[in-house]
Amino acid sequence: MRTKQRMKRILLIATGGTIASGYTKEGLTPQIEAGDLLRYVEEYKDFCAVDVLQAFSLDSTNLYGRHWLELAGLVEKYFSDYDGFVICHGTDTMAFTAAALSYLVQNSPKPIVVTGAQKPIDLPVTDARTNLLDSLRFASEAKAHGVSIVFGGNVIAGTRAKKERSKSYNAFSSINYPNVAVIRDGRVVFYIDDKPCKEQAPIFYRRLNDRLLLLKLIPGMDGAVLNRLFPYYDGVIIEAFGVGGLPEYGETPFFQEIRRWTDAGKPVMMATQVTHEGSDMEVYQVGKVIKERFHIMEAYDMTLEATVTKTMWVLGQTKEPGEFRRLFYGTVNHDILFGDIMA
């Protein structure tokens, strides 16, 4: 005789976003409270019990490090009380939040799901109800763990998601890594069936350093921009062309300014503007020389969102170059392939 399993307890944390928005004269703005979201997906009662918590009610454009720390703190506070967590969030910065939570809550044996929608949940035609129900379903799965985004039927590792479409329902893609799972017809099919380290308890971090500059190169940019911004930031990520490199033109060479940052102990990270396949600075002279001369680190196959939030997390823990390098290249939630070799 089959034993009836205990129904999973899920905490739904609402933060605002399109899924909870209503129309005003000024445009869409979050209005629907956490408890009201559940009225649109009552099928969840067949497989889980849900409590709700309204963390804040913001367009995700207005979310940043302080809010990521608050969300991680709520997961930590209620971690022992629930089997999983679903965070309703706006889509515009959802990938940043999911990546940040991957670094702030590591080795979680319980699922922490981030979801949202391209249309408000109270519209007749919307992706919101499917996404929310899928997220609750995935958070109730016995094999689910760690931080992920559930959107458009796909389950994406929190460090691998990128919003690639501004309006379509299939807004998010998994970059340089396969989907963790898919959800079809109410069933979860896992593609990645890994497990958190059982010998280690979940690790919660409470510090980020968001004094981080992201500089996107454009043709003709002068290195003087780094000089002007130097006093305001503790590190810089340069989003370069192709596999990575720096131009040699201009009145103020980039070489000169990179030396200024590295001599001051401020990390310089090279990323790429190309979405897929990642950086490889050793291919061309414009990258190889500067990497060898200044020991610049690079993001390789990481998403920009993961590179930004991971750098903020590492800067919050240490500024010692060796430890910074060790932490950055340590693989967290599938964020970098062969990271330990690069360290």
Residue 34's alpha-carbon distances to 38, 47, 56, 129, in angstroms, are: 7, 19, 10, 13
Catalytic residue among 3, 15, 18, 303: 18
Examine the residue annotation and report whether 18 is marked as an active-site residue of this protein. yes
DSSP per-residue letters across 278-293: ---TTSSHHHHHHHHH
DSSP state of 200: S
Ranges of H-type helices in the chain: 34-37, 65-77, 94-104, 128-139, 224-229, 254-263, 285-294, 304-317, 321-329, 339-342
Side-chain-facing half-sphere of 125: CA atoms under 13 Å: 2
Tell me how far apart the alpha carbons of residues 83 and 145 are, in angstroms, rounded to a whole number.
Answer: 10
Three-class SS of residue 113? strand
Q: How far apart are CA 181 and CA 124, in angstroms?
A: 28
Q: Which residues are catalytic?
A: 18
